[in-house]
Amino acid sequence: MAGNRTFTMIKPDAFEAGNSGAILKMIEEAGFKIVAMKATRLTPELAGKFYEVHKERPFYKDLCAYMSSGPIIAAILEKDNAVEDFRNLIGATNPANAAEGTIRKIFAKSIEANAVHGSDSDENAAIEGNFYFSQLERVL
């Protein structure tokens, strides 16, 4: 059975552009409940740890530099079928391929600066949420 939680980040490009509020509005209007949230900033080392699964990819170094280039918002979201429904809401990784009306289609600048992150599995949603939030911050 699909889990009911996913994890997201509003990335530096969207935060810097002042799109956090509009993105959070779309997320809430799609039926997701925010159960933990904070504005923060990654160091290059922490970005590298978060995206360690991509460390052999050619874009890894640039991704770590970009993800530590400015503030982000990290959040745990709750909804039935959360991981799949959230990925449908944000659209394809490359905004050029994202469906009309999706968050990335509306707000992303490029395949790297693609406005938001969404977990790709229930297992990674838990790992990524735990990366940012302590047990005390996950009380809801």
68 binds ligand CMP (CB under 6 A): no
Cβ atoms of residues 5 and 86 within 8 Å: no
Question: Distance between CA 103 and CA 34 in Å, rounded?
Answer: 17
102 binds ligand CMP (CB under 6 A): no
Question: Distance between CA 90 and CA 116 in Å, rounded?
Answer: 7
In the residue annotation, 117 being an active-site residue is answered as yes
Among the listed residues 82, 117, 118, 133, the single catalytic one is: 117
Question: Distance between CA 70 and CA 19 in Å, rounded?
Answer: 14
111 binds ligand CMP (CB under 6 A): yes
Would you tell me how many other CB atoms lie within 10 Å of the CB of residue 52?
10
Question: Does 57 show up as a binding residue in the annotation?
Answer: no
Q: Residue 16 contacts by C-beta under 8 Å, 6 or more apart in sequence? A: 70, 71
Q: Which of 4, 69, 93, 121 binds ligand CMP (CB under 6 A)?
A: 93
Which C-beta is closer to ligand CMP: that of 109 or that of 138? 109
Which C-beta is closer to ligand CMP: that of 9 or that of 36? 9
**In this structure, what DSSP letter does residue 51 have?**
T
**In this structure, what DSSP letter does residue 129 have?**
H
63 binds ligand CMP (CB under 6 A): yes
117 binds ligand CMP (CB under 6 A): yes
Residues belonging to the binding site for ATP are 11, 59, 87, 93, 104, 114
**Residues catalogued as catalytic:** 117
Rule CB under 6 A: which residues touch ligand CMP? 54, 59, 63, 93, 111-112, 114, 117
